């Protein structure tokens, strides 16, 4: 008898979670916004990485 109650409670909760998942819509952000934040993140990582190697410092284009 206890197993039947557990199964009933589990079924009800699973149905509730499925319903909530169907109703949930994450906020949409534009592609431009996502690319901009990605570029900022990459820039911050590069800034924290420290100075460039000696080879990159000696290379000159002009």
Q: Could you give the CA distance from residue 10 to residue 18 in angstroms, rounded to a whole number?
A: 12
In angstroms, how far is CA 45 from the centroid of its own chain? 17
Summarize pLDDT for 18-50 with one digit per residue, the tens: 999 999 887 777 888 889 999 999 999 998 877
DSSP 19: H
Mean residue pLDDT across the chain: 83
The more confident residue out of 7 and 56 is 7
* The pLDDT of residue 62 is above 80: no
Work out the burial of residue 39: count CB atoms within 10 Å of its CB; fewer than 13 is exposed, 13-18 middle, 19 or more buried: exposed
């Amino acid at each position: 008898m206890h197993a039947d109650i557990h199964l009933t409670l589990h079924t009800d909760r699973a149905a509730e979670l499925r319903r909530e998942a169907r109703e949930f819509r994450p906020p949409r952000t534009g592609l431009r916004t996502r690319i901009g934040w990605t570029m900022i993140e990459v820039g911050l990582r590069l800034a924290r990485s420290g100075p460039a190697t000696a080879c990159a410092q000696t290379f000159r284009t002009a």
